[in-house]
Amino acid sequence: MQRLAGKARFKLVSWFVSWLGFGPLRPGAGICLKVSPMRLTAVELHCHRGGRDVFTGVSFAVGAGEALTVTGRNGAGKSSLLRTIAGLLRSAQGRLTLDGGDPELSIGEQAHYLGHQDAIKPSLTVVENLQFWADFFGAPSSDIREALAEVGLDMLAALPAAYLSAGQRRRLSIARLIAVKRPLWLLDEPTSGLDVAAQSRLTDLMRGHLAGGGLIAAATHGPIGLDTTLELRLDQTAPSRVPAGASA
């Protein structure tokens, strides 16, 4: 509780300082992938929601270029774990650190979260939706057309987002990950709603991200097409870490 309030206050103050023109923090600058290798470490994370312990004592470590798949039955807490890493949920105890990242920013501010919902406004056009997130996260506008082309939506750029199918909406969300560069990707069942072609495109994107030194944590029921992943199985009784050498 204390840590988060402190962070929020810090964010507000540093925003004003930089808005006034002083200080080294420029909130508009997009963050590039750091040269020094990053490492996401979690120690003894707990999640308590709705009166029950969703998971307890979860620990893992993911390095640059590595992907963590989080598996488990429905209700095991996969989404909650990703949201905890993103900073949207607080862990009652334990520690979460991102080494090699920007010390001034929280983990969530250096991560992308691709959840079940698509964060798309139906009354805005495809390109307006993406442009908004690019502006909000401080990414240059030049990347937007490119990002739309990579997910195959560039022909529909001027179309109101209300006309998109579920798969096309998902791809528009994925375009956000391409347009705004952030080192850590938190993906909650990323392949759901995508057809085979789109799934393989997503796998290529993930590979490219890992090759550039990024990190991925993905909650999934099945394989996501990456060659080497660390697997974290969450189940009700005893969560344990199972480092897998090669599991497809």
Partner 1 sequence: MNLSDLANPSRFLQLANNTIPWLSGVTVLAFAFGIDQAMIAPDDYQQGATVKIMFLHVPSAWLGMLGWGVMTVAALGTLVWRHPLADVTAKAAAPIGAAFTLLCLVTGSLWGRPEWGTYWVWDARLTSELVLLLLYLGVIALWRTVDDPSRAARAAAILTLVGAIDLPIIKFSVDWWNTLHQGASVFRLGGSTIYPTILIPLFVMAGAFTLLFATLLLAAMRNEILRRRVRTLHLLQAGAAS
Partner 2 sequence: MSALAAILVRDMRIAVRVGGGALMGVLFFLVVVTLTPFAVGPDLALLKRIGPAILWLAALLASLLALDRLFANDHDDGSLDLILMGRAPLELVVAMKGLAHWLTTGLPLVIAAPLIGLFLNIDAAAEGALVLTLLVGTPALTFIGLIGAAIAVTLRRGGLLLAVIVLPLTVPVLIFGVAAANAAVVGPVPFGTPFTILCALTLASLVVGPFAAAAVLRQEIE
Residues at the interface with partner 2 (CB under 8 A): 4, 8, 11-12, 15, 27-28, 49, 83, 86-90, 105, 108-109, 111-113, 115-121, 123-124, 128, 131-133, 135-138
Q: How far is the CB of 123 from partner 2 (least distance, A)?
A: 4
Q: Which of 197, 242, 244, 248 binds partner 1 (CB under 8 A)?
A: 197
User: Whose Cβ is closer to partner 2: residue 11's or residue 233's?
Assistant: 11
Q: How far is the CB of 231 from partner 2 (least distance, A)?
A: 25
- Per-residue x/- mask for partner 1, residues 137 to 156, rule CB under 8 A? ---------------xx-xx
- Residue closer to partner 1 by CB (options 112, 169) is 169
Query: 98 vs 15, 78, 89, CA distance in Å?
Result: 22, 20, 17
- Minimum distance from residue 176 beta carbon to partner 2 (Å): 8
- The minimum distance between CB 26 and partner 2, in angstroms, equals 10
Other CB atoms within a 10 A radius of the CB of residue 7 amount to 15
Instruction: State which residue, 57 or 167, has the beta carbon closest to partner 1.
Output: 167
* E strand map for the chain: 39-49, 52-63, 67-71, 95-99, 111-114, 184-188, 215-219, 230-233, 240-242
Contact between 62 and 74 under an 8 Å Cβ cutoff? The reply is: no
Distance CA 248, CA 241 (A): 17
Q: Which does 23 bind (CB under 5 to 8 A by kind): partner 2, partner 1, none?
A: none
Question: Nearer to partner 2 by C-beta: 72 or 115?
Answer: 115
Report in angstroms how near the CB of residue 39 gets to partner 1 at its nearest.
39
Q: Are strands 95-99 and 39-49 parallel, antiparallel or unpaired?
A: antiparallel
Strands in 230-233's sheet, in edge-to-edge order, are 111-114, 184-188, 215-219, 67-71, 230-233, 240-242
CB nearer to partner 2: pick between 182 and 209 = 182
| CA distance linking residue 167 with residue 180, whole number of Å | 20
What does 111 interact with, of partner 1, partner 2, none (CB < 5 to 8 A by kind)? partner 2
Q: Which is nearer to partner 1, 104 or 195 (CB)?
A: 195
Q: Which residues pair with 97 in a beta bridge?
A: 41
**Residue 136, binding choice from partner 2, partner 1, none, Cβ under 5 to 8 Å by partner class:** partner 2
Among 87, 95, 121, 100, which Cα is nearest to 35's? Answer: 100
Please pick, from the candidates 10, 15, 19, 163, the single residue that binds partner 1 as defined by CB under 8 A.
Answer: 163
| CA 55 – CA 239 distance, rounded (Å) | 7
Phi-psi region of 174 (alpha: psi -120 to 50; beta: other; left: phi over 0): alpha
CB-CB contact of 67 with 210 (8 Å): yes
Which residues here bind partner 1, judged by CB under 8 A? 152-153, 155-156, 159-160, 162-165, 168, 195, 197
